Chain A
């Protein structure tokens, strides 16, 4: 054991992975030793997910070598991964989901140790989590599911977790829970474990990583200790030029007539960007879905829809998996230009080509299947679907999950421009930073609006204040 203490848990030498002509990973060398917390950053499609899948043994490299200190497989070396796309079985309980990756639990009565183990792990990572190990996963909010998935990743599962790969673990967690996770990651690494931490939120990377690796187009373009990077330096290394903060000229904008009002008190005016905030799972997504469903019909479709929806939970609400990128973009605008009920295919192709360019969907051909895209690029397709329509109201349900920093900036700018032309946005986000860009913010608590903030009142403190119950506040 002591011999291995300083030896890397896993070492990649010139590892490459090609999918047909696509070089997803183009010769990467990387070693992860006990105690390391590696921050892995890069754009959508830079090769992060492929690298993860090589390390955890999900894919075999096309060339190069991957060596574990135990000499065996990733599983034997204690490599665990927690994915960005949630991979729990929704019809099983939390404890039963643990069993799926814990083959030592067997025989009658296996549920009891399973319950104990997952509760122990949840308690360690997320104190006061309030998740029942006997709850079926589909009754949990998306944040709770993510917490369960993370806890399963860190659970001993018969051996011991030595290297845990976290792929966008905080994207659906609110700030408080995310902070608990970051604290646990630091504890875990201090205790001799190793973590590969993938995030588009650079603040978190600087918070936990001891070393930062930047991927671009399947290659490592920079690898340095975390304090060797500045925030701007890191963004530059990823190779996307982003506008500096403060480019939003805060002239007092005027808005048109009120265009949205829901029974629970949500309202929005023409040209306004309205944010929904608060702790994840406090009714924001449900309120938006209700609003959308009440303003559209399942019996007839208007030629020009009144409201469109951008999904954050892509597989459940957004992607049509059998289709090409082209057909996924055009589904909401088919009636535009249709004659005799037939789709105007020339216009459809033109629209898809235009949005591929405008929003930067990484593909050489829009007739490629949608599932050939990385998660962030699939999300861009969903943006294109909504923005390409002429709908005056756009509802966005945490749409930035898994989207890289550069694209986020582009989309923010696009939202600003469209709002200036009179379109209205209702935008739920788990990232306070995004909410702070809105003209007006509704904070949700326990499925009700607990505060409505405007202008200079929209600050992180005010939002947090309204998110939590304050005893005897005034």
Chain B
């Protein structure tokens, strides 16, 4: 444990730092503050959905939530409609968004548990329904968030973006829950071997249900903040967060086989995902080249992280 490179989360941070340095290399150091600020702002949304996805993936093989984009869109749409750009409704909007997330999470789990559907199918099918709800309630209108809320979402505190503080606080809560709480132990045990956990007295269905609800609530929070940040909800606002949520979990060093979570890695990976795109942009790479290189870099990091993990075991 003395070797810092033995920790699987270090790779996402090293990669993020490298992408940061390479981008600045082009401008010979100018704009470092702005770049870091932008990375923290945009990374926060990915980190919040990533933390939720991490908990689900920790449940073990086959567990994943593909309804994150639709849940983000639906909760953001409903929240903005409820607020109607009126001042002082931010809290109401938050409650509506989180309520929508709670509903989506319960619906997802109900499909998985009652109909015994594989989570991939259940959440993918459910996401079509959520997306349709969002379309009906939105009807092409673009409602602006209340000004105070928009100011909060784009504002800063102690030099860091407010959304990054939210993401950071959430990361700390998740870390404490995983490392110190009974529920966290139950989750990690369930992810290693569900049957073993059940025979050891772990209430595995409770754990699964609460995990699927948590990921949906996190997605709802992220959607609410993103809509406030970008001046309104759009039907495609969640699209990029489907792959993003899974990528940050995997790059962050969480085991895809389940039973092993990694909170700091998720944040490192979220920063990296933003920085690598801005790095390729500033080097003038076209959209096609950018995608190919992003994919290749992700694969390289996952290989590096997983090789280290085997060495550790």
Chain A: residues with CB nearer than 8 A to chain B?
289, 292-293, 296-301, 305, 308-309, 311, 316-323, 327, 331-332, 334-335, 338, 341-343, 345, 369, 385, 389
Q: Which of A308, A311, A318, A321 contacts B201 (CB 8 A)?
A: A308
Beyond A309-B199, A311-B196, A322-B255, 12 additional pairs, beta carbon < 8 A? A289-B199, A292-B199, A296-B201, A298-B203, A301-B202, A317-B196, A319-B196, A320-B193, A322-B259, A322-B260, A341-B181, A342-B181
**A306 CB to nearest B CB, Å:** 9
Report the minimal beta-carbon distance from A3 to chain B, rounded to whole angstroms.
45
Q: A322-B259, A341-B181 are in contact. Are A298 and B206 (CB under 8 A)?
A: yes
Q: B198 at the A/B interface (Cβ < 8 Å)?
A: yes
- B86 at the A interface (CB under 8 A): no
Task: List B contacts of A305 (CB < 8 A).
Answer: 201
B197 at the interface (CB under 8 A from A): yes
A395 nearest in chain B by CB position: B199
B180 within 8 A of A: yes
CA distance A73 to B189 in the complex (A): 41
Name the residue of chain B whose CB is nearest to the CB of A308. B201
Contacts of B204 in A (CB 8 A): 298
How near does chain A come to B256, taking the closest CB pair, in angstroms?
A: 13
Q: Does B89 contact A (CB under 8 A)?
A: no
The SS class assigned to the A binding surface is loop
Measured in the bound complex, the distance between the Cα atoms of B198 and A320 in whole Å is 11
Residues of B within 8 A of A289 (CB): 199
Q: Nearest B residue to A382 by beta-carbon distance?
A: B200
Q: In whole angstroms, how far apart are the Cα atoms of A297 and B209 in the complex?
A: 14
A327→B197 CA distance, assembly (Å): 12
**How many Å from the CB of B5 to the closest CB on chain A?**
19
Complex Cα distance, B180 from A318, in Å, reads 22
B151 at the interface (CB under 8 A from A): no
Judging by beta carbons under 8 Å apart, are A332 and B181 in contact?
Answer: no
Quick one: which of B273-313 are within 8 Å of A by CB? 313
B 167-195 binary contact with A (CB < 8 Å = 1; else 0)? 00000000010001111011011001101
Interface centre among A292, A341, A369, A385 (most CB of B within 10 A): A341
Given A318-B196, A320-B196, A322-B192: A301 and B181 within 8 A (CB)? no
- Chain B residues within 8 Å of A, Cβ to Cβ: 176, 180-183, 185-186, 188-189, 192-193, 195-206, 255, 259-260, 313
Beta-carbon contact of A343 and B180 below 8 Å: yes
Q: Chain B interface secondary structure, helix, strand, loop or mixed?
A: helix
Question: In this complex, what residue of B is CB-closest to A336?
Answer: B182
Cα distance A343–B200 in the bound complex, in angstroms: 16
Q: What's the minimum C-beta distance from A345 to chain B, rounded to whole angstroms?
A: 8
Residues of B within 8 Å of A369, CB to CB, are: 313
Pull 6 A–B residue pairs with CB atoms less than 8 Å apart, ordered by A. Answer: A298-B205, A305-B201, A317-B199, A322-B260, A332-B201, A369-B313
Could you say which residues of chain B place their CB within 8 Å of the CB of A292?
199
By a CB distance below 8 angstroms, the chain A residues around B195 are 316-317
5 closest residue pairs by CB, A with B: A298-B205, A334-B182, A301-B203, A332-B201, A309-B199
Would you call B206 and A318 a contact (CB within 8 A)?
A: no
What residues of chain B lie closer than 8 Å to A321, measured between beta carbons? Answer: 192-193
A92 to B109 Cα, complex, angstroms: 33
Cα–Cα distance between A322 and B185 once the two chains are bound (Å): 12
**Shortest CB–CB separation between residue B114 and chain A, in angstroms?**
14
User: A299–B205 Cα gap in the complex (Å)?
Assistant: 6
Whole-angstrom CA separation of A345 from B286 in the bound complex = 53
Give the residues in chain A near B185, CB-CB below 8 Å.
327, 331, 334, 343
Residues from chain A with a CB closer than 8 A to the CB of B260 are 322
Which chain A residues lie closer than 8 Å to B180 at the CB level?
342-343, 345
* B201 touching A301, Cβ below 8 Å: yes
Name, among A319, A334, A343, the residue most crowded by chain B CB atoms within 10 Å (CB to CB): A334
B200 with A331: CB separation less than 8 A: yes
Question: Roughly how many angstroms separate A297 CA and B201 CA in the complex, as a whole number?
Answer: 8
Q: With A and B bound together, what is the CA distance between A322 and B313 in angstroms?
A: 9
Instruction: Give the complex CA separation of A319 and B183 in angstroms.
Output: 19
Chain B residues lying within 8 Å of A323, measured Cβ to Cβ, are 188-189, 192
> Are the CB atoms of B182 and A342 closer together than 8 Å?
yes
A331 in contact with B189 (CB, 8 Å): yes
Q: How far is the CA of A317 from the CA of B197 in the complex (A)?
A: 8
Write the chain A residue with the least CB distance to B204. A298
- Given A321-B192, A322-B192: A335 touches B200 (CB 8 Å cut-off): no
Contacts of A342 in B (CB 8 A): 176, 180-182
Inter-chain contacts of B186 with A (CB < 8 A): 301, 334
- Within 8 Å CB of B199, what residues of A? 289, 292, 309, 311, 317-318
Q: With both chains docked as a complex, state the minimum distance between the C-beta of B75 and any C-beta of chain A, in angstroms.
A: 26
Partner of A320, one of B189, B203, B255: B189
Q: How far is the CB of B206 from chain A (nearest CB, A)?
A: 5
A335 proximity list for chain B (CB < 8 A): 182
Instruction: Please name the residue on chain B nearest to A345 by beta carbon.
Output: B180
Complex: chain B residue closest to A301, CB-CB: B203
B201 smallest CB distance to A (angstroms): 5
| Contact of B182 with A338 in the complex, beta carbons under 8 Å | yes
A298 B198 Cβ-Cβ under 8 A:
yes
CB neighbours of B200 from chain A (8 A): 309, 320, 331-332, 385
Which residues of B sit under 8 angstroms from A293, Cβ to Cβ?
198
B167 to chain A, nearest CB (A): 23
Set of chain B residues within 8 Å of A343, measured between Cβ atoms: 180-182, 185
A309, closest chain B residue (CB): B199
Instruction: Give the distance to chain A from B210, nearest Cβ to Cβ, in Å.
Output: 11
Chain A nearest CB, measured from B291 CB (Å): 34
Give every chain A residue within 8 A of B183 (Cβ-Cβ).
Answer: 341
Instruction: Determine how close the nearest CB of chain B comes to the CB of A355; give it in whole angstroms.
Output: 15
Minimal beta-carbon separation of A240 from chain B (angstroms): 29
Asked if residues B259 and A331 are in contact (CB atoms below 8 Å), the reply is no
